[in-house]
Amino acid sequence: MKGAVEAVVGAQWGDEGKGRVVDALGPGADVFARYQSGADEGHTVVVGGKKYVFQVLPSGMLYPGKVCVIGNGAVIDPGALLGELGGLQDQGMDRARLIVSYGAHVILPYHRSLDLARERLRGKRWRGSGGAGPAYIDKFNRCGIRVEDLLDTDDLREKLELNLEEKNLILTRIYDSEPLSFDETFELAAEWGKALAPYAGDGGLALDEAVRDGQRVIIEGVHGTMLDLDHGAYPFVELSSPTAAGGCAGLGIGPGAVSRVIGVAKAYCTRAGEGPFPTEDGGELGAFLRERGRESGASPERPRRCGPLDLVALKFAARINGMTAMALTKLDVLSGLEKIPVCTSYETAVGAEARFPCPGELSAARPVYERLDGWKEDISGCRTFEELPSRAREFVEFVEKFCRIPVEIMGVGPGRDQAIFRGPGG
Ligand code: GDP
């Protein structure tokens, strides 16, 4: 699909395998763009048996000659970005041209300190964001530091002086934490500015030119739809909008340019943090999915919560994103299960139907399951839909029928080639 924008968005609670889907679409695409978040959010791509984890860079960095854009909607940690870039450069794998938008906001050391201090004050239930939260707050408060500010040291000095004076008051008087040194903060920010200068540019304009030139642009979300600041189960949400519309806003492209919205979902569900998770399975099935699917997040001490596929939530994601296609990853993880439960509705204690994402209703909701027949075969070598066992095909067709969205991509393993394409433009 040339001359159009395709959005790849998380249709669950994140970690759906968006990075590998973007990577799989890579050969046919010209431009890759990231539009929101953050720090400490991993996209994992496996190429030739080697694992690459991108916290900040778009997944397309591994493709020679492509353009990768980080949009205004992103909040970036330049230290992490430059570290990631340096790592790729050392391996000769920084193959794409990178554009970091002038308007992207920067996470500074005081954002991390504020995040940690808030985490300490609010206890375990508060999940830190690697500084992204306070950086987003500054953005909305119109005192954020943007990439363009790092490039002009006089301007940077003035803005940082004002910011640090205020942040140090908050850190010391409210949180009883250590203040930060202005000189150290300024030096670091100015150094980042120098290192980022060759990459700084107008991401929105580059995307517009690409579309006008008939190029194929893929925009990739971080997190998942259920964590959307506006539409997720608030307050258990992230700080930005991971939806397709969030992509348009964060990159500066008109919604009319988006021709395909691919929602990425695992063949089951996981959730990394606190908050309502209707199909969570604390028993054998949850343990099976966690082990088989290697669902343990960045640190092994934080295993993800696991459970069966939640079609009520997936249908909600389809609506919120205007999904036109689905990518169903980790189908291989389900091999060997005799029966595969899938949630088709929620029931309240009095038997009424509950909705997604209303948290009050959700915490009391009981998932209602249909139990589909499983398959025994190892499907990791299948490369066409027809090669899949009939029960695996029936599972996929059930999901499609329920959500009324075609499943155009299936993941049968983490490798670049372990994917099945059924739709247009693969
Ligand atoms: P993202 O943030 O949505 O890109 O997802 P993550 O990278 O956090 O997590 C997805 C994990 O699942 C990665 O380790 C992938 O290598 C792995 N993965 C993705 N697709 C498949 C698949 O189809 N099968 C298996 N077994 N693993 C997969």
Task: Output the DSSP codes for 320-366.
Answer: HHT-SEEEEE-GGGGTT-SEEEEEEEEE-TTSPBP-SS-HHHHHH-E
Asked whether residue 229 falls in the same domain as residue 302, the answer is no
Asked whether residue 87 falls in the same domain as residue 114, the answer is no
Q: What is the DSSP letter of 172?
A: I
Element of type H or E holding 284:
helix 284-292
Asked whether residue 230 falls in the same domain as residue 329, the answer is no
Q: Work out the end-to-end distance of the chain between its first and last CA atoms, rounded to an integer number of angstroms.
A: 9
- Within-domain flag for 341: yes
Residue with tokens 């990631």: 84
Structure token pair of residue 187? 């030096």
φ, ψ dihedrals at 60, nearest 5°: -75, 0
Residue 126 pLDDT: 63
User: Which band of pLDDT confidence, cut at 50, 70 and 90, is reported for residue 299?
Assistant: very low
User: Which band of pLDDT confidence, cut at 50, 70 and 90, is reported for residue 38?
Assistant: low
Q: Report which residue type is found at 112.
A: R
Residue 27 pLDDT: 85
Rounded distance between C-alpha atoms, residue 357 and residue 231, angstroms: 8
Tell me the CA–centroid distance for residue 44 and ligand 1, in Å.
6
Asked whether residue 42 falls in the same domain as residue 96, the answer is yes
Q: Are 29 and 241 in contact (CB under 8 A)?
A: no
Rounded distance between C-alpha atoms, residue 52 and residue 281, angstroms: 30
Lowest-pLDDT choice from 11-15, 116-120, 145-149: 116-120
Known catalytic residues are 15, 43
Asked whether residue 50 falls in the same domain as residue 160, the answer is no
Residue ranges of alpha helices (H) inside 26-152 are: 78-90, 109-122, 132-140, 147-150
Q: Can you say how many angstroms the Cα of residue 249 is from the centroid of all Cα atoms in its chain?
A: 16
Tell me which residue has its CA closest to atom 26 in ligand 1.
413
Mean pLDDT of the chain: 91
Q: Which of 294, 330, 407 maximizes ligand 1 atoms within 8 Å of its Cβ, making it the mutation to test the pocket?
A: 330
Tell me which residue has its CA closest to atom 10 in ligand 1.
17
pLDDT reading at 94 higher than 90: no
Asked whether residue 309 falls in the same domain as residue 347, the answer is yes
Residue with tokens 């554009």: 99
Q: What is the mean pLDDT of residues 269-298?
A: 92
- Within-domain flag for 251: yes
Cis check: omega of the bond before 235, within 30 degrees of 0: yes
Tell me which residue has its CA closest to atom 25 in ligand 1.
413
Tell me which residue has its CA closest to atom 13 in ligand 1.
44
User: Which band of pLDDT confidence, cut at 50, 70 and 90, is reported for residue 39?
Assistant: low
CATH of the domain at 159: 1.10.300.10
Lowest-pLDDT choice from 91-100, 170-179, 383-392: 91-100
Residue 295 pLDDT: 94
CATH of the domain at 28: 3.40.440.10
Asked whether residue 21 falls in the same domain as residue 77, the answer is yes
Residue 258 pLDDT: 95
User: Which band of pLDDT confidence, cut at 50, 70 and 90, is reported for residue 2?
Assistant: low
Nearest to 130 by CA among 277, 239, 237: 239
pLDDT reading at 200 higher than 70: yes
CA distances from 108 to 122, 192, 251, 376 (A): 22, 10, 22, 51
Residue 41 pLDDT: 63
Asked whether residue 74 falls in the same domain as residue 205, the answer is yes
Q: Which of 329, 333, 417 maximizes ligand 1 atoms within 8 Å of its Cβ, making it the mutation to test the pocket?
A: 329
Rounded distance between C-alpha atoms, residue 347 and residue 361, angstroms: 9
- Within-domain flag for 39: yes
Rounded distance between C-alpha atoms, residue 73 and residue 143, angstroms: 15
Q: What is the DSSP letter of 418?
A: -
Rounded distance between C-alpha atoms, residue 101 and residue 79, angstroms: 16
Instruction: State which ligand 1 atom lies nearest to the alpha carbon of 224.
Output: 3
Among the three residues 141, 161, 196, which one is the final residue of a domain in this structure?
196
pLDDT above 70 as % of the chain = 95
Task: Look at residue 386 and give its three-state secondary structure.
Answer: helix
Ligand 1 residue neighbourhood (C-beta within 6 Å): 10, 15-20, 42-44, 46, 329-330, 332-333, 411-414
Instruction: State which ligand 1 atom lies nearest to the alpha carbon of 51.
Output: 16
pLDDT reading at 145 higher than 80: yes
Q: Which of 16, 18, 20, 219 maximizes ligand 1 atoms within 8 Å of its Cβ, making it the mutation to test the pocket?
A: 20
Rounded distance between C-alpha atoms, residue 93 and residue 95, angstroms: 5
Tell me how many domains the chain contains. 3
Tell me: the pLDDT tens digits for 328-368? 999 999 999 999 999 999 987 777 777 777 767 777 788 99
Structure token pair of residue 405? 């969205």
Tell me which residue has its CA closest to atom 8 in ligand 1.
15
Tell me the CA–centroid distance for residue 264 and ligand 1, in Å.
11
Tell me which residue has its CA closest to atom 14 in ligand 1.
44
Nearest to 140 by CA among 229, 204, 247: 229
Asked whether residue 109 falls in the same domain as residue 50, the answer is no
Q: Report which residue type is found at 110.
A: Y
Tell me: the pLDDT tens digits for 45-81? 777 778 887 788 887 888 888 999 999 999 999 999 9
Q: Are 68 and 30 in contact (CB under 8 A)?
A: no
Q: What is the mean pLDDT of residues 398-415?
A: 96
Tell me the CA–centroid distance for residue 411 and ligand 1, in Å.
9
Asked whether residue 312 falls in the same domain as residue 397, the answer is yes
Residue 42 pLDDT: 65
Lowest-pLDDT choice from 58-67, 124-133, 286-295, 322-331: 124-133
pLDDT reading at 403 higher than 80: yes
Q: What is the mean pLDDT of residues 92-114?
A: 93
CATH of the domain at 337: 3.90.170.10
Q: Report which residue type is found at 159.
A: K
Structure token pair of residue 332? 């291989």
Tell me: the pLDDT tens digits for 131-142? 999 999 999 999
Tell me: the pLDDT tens digits for 230-266? 999 888 898 899 999 999 999 999 999 999 999 999 9
Q: Which domain holds residue 73?
A: 5-103+200-260
User: Which band of pLDDT confidence, cut at 50, 70 and 90, is reported for residue 40?
Assistant: low
Q: Partners of 373 in the beta sheet? A: 339
Residue with tokens 């949009």: 71
Tell me the CA–centroid distance for residue 296 and ligand 1, in Å.
11
Tell me the CA–centroid distance for residue 15 and ligand 1, in Å.
7
Rounded distance between C-alpha atoms, residue 343 and residue 336, angstroms: 19
- Within-domain flag for 426: no
Among the three residues 243, 260, 277, which one is the final residue of a domain in this structure?
260
Asked whether residue 180 falls in the same domain as residue 290, the answer is no
Among the three residues 213, 242, 260, which one is the final residue of a domain in this structure?
260
Rounded distance between C-alpha atoms, residue 219 and residue 8, angstroms: 6
Of the CA atoms within 13 Å of residue 377, those in its CB half-sphere come to 12
φ, ψ dihedrals at 6, nearest 5°: -115, 130
Asked whether residue 379 falls in the same domain as residue 297, the answer is yes
Element of type H or E holding 321:
helix 311-321
